Structure 1
Amino acid sequence: MSDPESSRNVEIKARLGSDENYKAAVEIARNLTSTDGEVIKQRDVFFNSREGRLKLRYMSDCNMLIYYARDDEAGPKLSNYYTVKVEDASTLEHVLTTSNGTRGIVQKERLLFIHENTRIHLDKVENLGNFLEFEVVLKPGEKVEQGQEFAEKMMKIFKIREEDLLTGAYLDLLVGKQ
């Protein structure tokens, strides 16, 4: 049996701060994509993992087990990830909690926009505030630098400042690591 192939993207995550900044980012995304975006409520349960991050994502239309590995650094960075749709999420959560332990839970309302090969996430994260995330999806064989260039272009469009960039996951903020 061969290993499943991971997907790759280049991503950035940034703090938006105020509701006014969030609304301004929504307007930029609407103008850029000519859509109103899609509202998605998510609950991510993070489990202890020897490497990378492992989470079970609950959503209204489906649940996903997601593993991803990326460097914890500011700015556009490569993320390798695997996703698996999950039918019985509560049983899987119990098994993973029992076997690995739980690191924490992140609840958010995400407004998703798609621009070219980029997923634009405008997130309202419970107990944290307003954030923006770009995921520039790389095609097989596409160079990481191409994704980084596009992410930097998007940062300029959305007026993201270097000091607003985050290095880790929302969970890291919740548990006080960032």
Structure 2
Amino acid sequence: MSDAAAAPDQRNVEIKASIPGGVEEFARRVEIAKQLTGTNGEIIKQRDVFFNSPRGGRLKLRYLEAPAPSQLVYYDRPDVAGPKLSKYNKIDVAEPGVLEKILRQSNGTLGVLAKRRLLFIHEQTRIHMDEVTDLGFFMEFEVCLRPEQTLEEGQVIADKLCQIFKIAEADLMTGSYFDALNVKIN
């Protein structure tokens, strides 16, 4: 068995939600995140290039601003509203332009998504406050599961955060930002 086959997937429980009400509602929820975490968050600008993934899931090359390294990310999660298990693997990439060229040639591209993310950390949860180019305002919780934690334990944490941020069920997203952007464009 290869080392790659033996390495366990990383896991998190994820929730994505749109933020209706524009910049004012986005700012209100940013204030909740600041109060909850006691920080101002970290601004991260991202540009994700999505590639065909012949075996399912999603494959993207994430460009980050220096000094942060770019990352190749593969993830698989069901397209359902509410808390869902996401299995993923990622690796830092020193030469993202070369890797992008190789993946374009071998897999083909699906498109590009750009966003400005404000990252907050609350206990074991990454709270993302996202402004997605050509799409709008969103937020995301990633409850990073420890190896011994169950999906249900992560869902309880995610549900509590939904209550704190007053996320309406109607605002929960089933797919990715990229899926929503494609629907808007097409």
| TM-score (structure 2 length as normaliser) | 0.94
Offset, 1:136: 0.2
Q: Which residues of 2 match residues 98-177 of structure 1 at below 5 A?
A: 98-176=105-183
What is the alpha-carbon distance in structure 1 between the residues aligned to residue 180 and residue 77 of structure 2?
A: 16
Q: Which residues of 2 match residues 1-178 of structure 1 at below 5 A?
A: 1-2=2-3, 3=5, 4-17=7-20, 18-50=22-54, 51-60=56-65, 61-176=68-183
What is the alpha-carbon distance in structure 2 between the residues aligned to residue 113 and residue 171 of structure 1?
A: 22
What is the alpha-carbon distance in structure 2 between the residues aligned to residue 75 and residue 10 of structure 1?
A: 10
Q: Secondary structure at the match of 1:167?
A: coil
- The superposition leaves residues 102-130 of structure 1 with CA deviations (integer Å, 9 ceiling, x where unpaired) of 01111000000000000000000000000
Offset, 1:6: 1.1
Offset, 1:158: 0.2
Letter in 2 for 1:107: A
Aligned residues: 178
Offset, 1:36: 0.1
Q: Secondary structure at the match of 2:156?
A: helix
What is the alpha-carbon distance in structure 2 between the residues aligned to residue 164 and residue 21 of structure 1?
A: 13
Offset, 1:164: 0.2
Offset, 1:49: 0.5
- The superposition leaves residues 34-74 of structure 1 with CA deviations (integer Å, 9 ceiling, x where unpaired) of 00000000000000002100000000111000000000000
Letter in 2 for 1:5: P
Q: Which runs of 5+ in 2 are unaligned?
A: none
| TM-score (structure 1 length as normaliser) | 0.98
Offset, 1:152: 0.4
Q: Which runs of 5+ in 1 are unaligned?
A: none
Letter in 1 for 2:41: G
Q: Secondary structure at the match of 1:149?
A: helix
What is the alpha-carbon distance in structure 2 between the residues aligned to residue 148 and residue 76 of structure 1?
A: 6
Letter in 2 for 1:19: V
